Amino acid sequence: MPRILILGGTTEARILAGRLGSRPELDVTMSLAGRTASPAPQPVPVRVGGFGGREGLADYLRREGIDALIDATHPYAAVISANALAAARDAAVPVVVLRRPPWTAVAGDCWTLVDGVADAIAALGEAPRCVLVTLGRGELDPLVAAPQHHYLIRSVDPVEPPLAVPHAKYLTGRGPFAEADERALLTAHGIECIIAKNSGGTATYGKIAAARALGLSVIMLRRPTVPAAAAVDSVEDALAWLDHALAPAAARGV
């Protein structure tokens, strides 16, 4: 029975696992990093925790007899994506990246593109501003360098201990977030600017649309560069790739 490993942590990975998990001829495992305290339930068996870099993942692929690897991690999870590609090459396992397309700015958007959180904080300027920050709890240290701002920080897990800044409020939440709710949140907190990742998809786009409607600026972290690989941008295309990868060589015209 073909064994499939999905590197997950995203909505797409969960949807893909649901589609594959309903196929009795496949043995599908989802791998999660183990970052969140209460991860969303998964429709297939789950393994949790790092593999130990490129070599550890290559060993896992060989040891478990994995026939195809699908990297469906978040677009900003650059380390695991690079390791996945290299490990799959080392272990001679077919690999594809499932990555949702980025958002693109449309008329009315006011985006400043930056390369990292420290650059995002610098882009806020010296004058105090009210900022919604939608980053992971492990990415917030650069905020401490700019304590003059009023931060509203939303993350999946609580930020503990809180940041060493005098003006910070914390929210926990996991998308999807509706545009109307985002608009109400931004207005209620007098938000002037949002710091966000270009995650793509619909679940977290509400804040971007709400910012546009309210005339607020968005400081957008550019996506990290990851090594070139076979890539698809939808679950349907990932399923098609997998069927092709698992087909006998003759059927693939090899």
Q: Two tokens at 15?
A: 């949807």
Question: Nearest distance from residue 13's CB to ligand NAP, in Å?
Answer: 7
134 is a contact residue toward ligand NAP (CB under 6 A): no
10 is a contact residue toward ligand NAP (CB under 6 A): yes
238 is a contact residue toward ligand NAP (CB under 6 A): no
What is the number of the residue whose Cβ is closest to ligand NAP?
Answer: 50
45 is a contact residue toward ligand NAP (CB under 6 A): no
Number of residues located near ligand NAP, criterion CB under 6 A: 24
Q: Is the dihedral of CA 35, 38, 43, 45 positive or negative?
A: positive
9 is a contact residue toward ligand NAP (CB under 6 A): yes
Residues 196-215 that bind ligand NAP (CB under 6 A): 197
Q: Is the dihedral of CA 204, 207, 210, 211 positive or negative?
A: negative
52 is a contact residue toward ligand NAP (CB under 6 A): yes
Nearest of 165, 143, 161 to residue 219 by alpha carbon? 143
113 is a contact residue toward ligand NAP (CB under 6 A): no
DSSP output for 39-85: PPP-SS-EEES--SHHHHHHHHHHHTT-SEEEE---TT-HHHHHHHH
Question: Nearest distance from residue 238's CB to ligand NAP, in Å?
Answer: 15
Q: How far apart are CA 90 and CA 119, in angstroms?
A: 36
State which amino acid sits at residue 143.
Answer: L
Question: Nearest distance from residue 76's CB to ligand NAP, in Å?
Answer: 4
For residues 29 and 53, the answer to whether their CB atoms sit within 8 Å is no
- One of 14, 74, 154, 183 touching ligand NAP (CB under 6 A): 74
39 is a contact residue toward ligand NAP (CB under 6 A): no
Instruction: Give, in order, the Cα–Cα distances in Å from 62 to each of 17, 81, 150, 214.
Output: 21, 18, 50, 52
Binding footprint of ligand NAP on the chain (CB under 6 A): 7-10, 31-33, 35, 50-53, 56-57, 73-74, 76-80, 83, 136, 197
